[in-house]
Amino acid sequence: MKELSHIEAVLYFFRGENMQQAETISAIATARGEGGIGIIRLSGEGAVRIAEMVFKSQRGIPLAKLVSYQAAYGRIVNSQGEVIDEAICLVMRAPYSYTREDVVELQCHGGSMPLRETLELTWKYGARPAEAGEFTKRAFLNGRLDLSQAEAVMDVIQAKTTASLRVASGHLTGKLSEKIKSLRQDILEMIAHLEATIDFPEDDIDDVVISDVSYRVNRLRTAVGQLLQTAHAGRILRDGLETAIIGKPNVGKSSLLNSLLQEERAIVTAIPGTTRDSIEEYADVGGVPLRIIDTAGIRSTEDMVEKMGVAKARAYVEQAALVLALFDSSASLTPEDKEVLKLIRSKDVLVLLTKADLPCRVSLEALQQSFAAEDILMISTLTGKGMEELTAAIVRKVYGGKAQSQEGLFVSNAREAEILRQTSVCLDAVQKTIACGMSADFIVIDLRSAWEKLGEITGETVGDDIVDQIFRQFCIGK
């Protein structure tokens, strides 16, 4: 059923080309790595509904109540109710929008990490990744752009697709694409076997043992799950791990920063922010690119919390994926330290006890009540003590202690991760069908979907694969 995969691919791209499509698409509308604001744009019938699920307005006004071109201030909240970012939400109702569909723009203030997380949330709630040039295409098909622009629209679609394919094939590492291909082949063989017994019941083909299928599907499910786990690390490897360094004045933030940057001179790029006075610098720590936020702030104002005020400090910590919290090991905790402790409560933190060259006065027991022992490190930038352990701890945070064995195998692209998630859903459905005692032709349905989904990653969607595989695998004939 080669058609299906292709058709589905087309549908995936084009599911809906009339005004107010049932299919809502979303994408990051701003260029990556530029500016401090990132905009996520949603378009389609469900745009407002989906935005409503990720965005909580400060004043508690539902987006559905906003009139066109009215904005609301609020927060992006994930499914656990955790705040990801602060944002301004702008609602543009059909037909007065770029695509002439309902459009919602989420202007996020955090860095690229919260932006991606927000985008993925929109997918989780029912939007799908927009294809290259798709907003423009919808704009034209819905009559927004005038006739003379048709040629340009067609060019944009083709050119953007070519470009995005090039990018995709560029970051689709050899190992990942090999892995996906081998998973697909495994599925294909199962499909071919099931289909061969269906299409050639009188030929001499071994029966399919359903428990074997179930076993193999389970194995696949695990493999897909492992790939998904690399998505986090893969993204960090590509975009950098947003890291905040926080601590009371004179605790050693600058020294740590310098130490991190000096140790690895390789990468030092400063990107001045456009809307915020933040400067980011990259440090390569054990192969993990740390993207250290607001290094300017760290350098110029050692007494950050005080100068920033608690609200700003909180925002600063919020946008980081990893917080390095510094405390003076040679003194007991001060009220300022306690303020810092409060800020980092729900974050991924490494607690660094500085000045390890001096006698230790801080109560480790108290800290260990709030933090895992492995996340508490004694360091001294003066003697270099604990710096290796810090590197190891950061690497552990990124890889979760697992992915090292599959070196080079990372899912780094959000769309790939989304497809893998959908593949998982299909594989779960296969197991459910088997558990219900359904027959072979039902089992095949979701196996095929899983196989097609994975094909969207490697770009293999057309072909006589199943029929070919049947004849390759089995001797059939009258």
Sign of the torsion formed by the C-alpha atoms of 371, 81, 403 and 217: positive
Q: Is 372 in the site for other proteins (CB under 8 A)?
A: no
Which segments of 15-125 are extended strands (E)? Answer: 25-28, 38-43, 55-57, 70-77, 83-92, 103-108
- Residue (of 190, 254, 109, 168) closest to 460 by Cα position: 168
Tell which positions 347-366 bind other proteins, by CB under 8 A.
none
Binding string, residues 407-436; x marks residues near other proteins by CB under 8 A: -----------------------------x
- Helix, strand, coil content of the chain in percent (nearest 5): 50, 15, 35
Nearer to other proteins, 321 or 419 (CB): 419
Q: Is 98 in the site for other proteins (CB under 8 A)?
A: no
CB of 433 to other proteins, least distance (A): 8
Q: Is 371 in the site for other proteins (CB under 8 A)?
A: no
- Residue (of 454, 474, 470) closest to 191 by Cα position: 470
CB of 98 to other proteins, least distance (A): 16
Show the tokens assigned to 101: 């569909």
CB of 27 to other proteins, least distance (A): 15
The CB density around residue 274, as the number of other CB atoms within 10 Å, is 11
CB of 214 to other proteins, least distance (A): 17
DSSP letters for 133-194? THHHHHHHHTT-S-GGGHHHHHHHHHHHHHHHHHHHHHHS-HHHHHHHHHHHHHHHHHHHHH
Amino acid (1-letter code) at residue 221: R
Nearer to other proteins, 213 or 351 (CB): 213
Q: Is 81 in the site for other proteins (CB under 8 A)?
A: no
Among 81, 166, 174, 204, binds other proteins (CB under 8 A): 204
Q: Is 64 in the site for other proteins (CB under 8 A)?
A: no
Segment interacting with other proteins (CB under 8 A) among 9-17, 121-129, 356-364, 415-423:
9-17
Binding string, residues 296-325; x marks residues near other proteins by CB under 8 A: ------------------------------
Binding string, residues 435-464; x marks residues near other proteins by CB under 8 A: -xxxxxxx--x----------------xx-
Sheet holding 288-292, edge to edge: 271-272, 279-285, 288-292, 241-247, 322-328, 349-354, 376-378
Query: Using H for helix, E for strand and C for coil, what is the string for 237-301?
Result: HHHCEEEEEEECCCCCHHHHHHHHHHHCCCCCCCEECCCCCCEEEEEEECCEEEEECCHHHHHHC
- Residue (of 197, 216, 198, 199) closest to 207 by Cα position: 197
Q: Is 9 in the site for other proteins (CB under 8 A)?
A: yes
Nearer to other proteins, 12 or 371 (CB): 12
DSSP bridge partners of 326: 247, 352
Nearer to other proteins, 20 or 259 (CB): 20
What residue has token string 């780094």? 412
Contact between 51 and 104 under an 8 Å Cβ cutoff? The reply is: yes
The CB density around residue 419, as the number of other CB atoms within 10 Å, is 21
Tell which positions 107-166 bind other proteins, by CB under 8 A.
131-134, 137, 140-141, 143, 147, 150-151, 153-155, 157-158, 161-162
Nearer to other proteins, 203 or 388 (CB): 203
Nearer to other proteins, 170 or 335 (CB): 170
Contacts with other proteins: how many residues (CB under 8 A)? 62
Residues lying near other proteins in the complex (CB under 8 A) are found at: 1-4, 6-18, 131-134, 137, 140-141, 143, 147, 150-151, 153-155, 157-158, 161-162, 195, 197-204, 436-442, 445, 462-463, 466-467, 470-471, 475-478
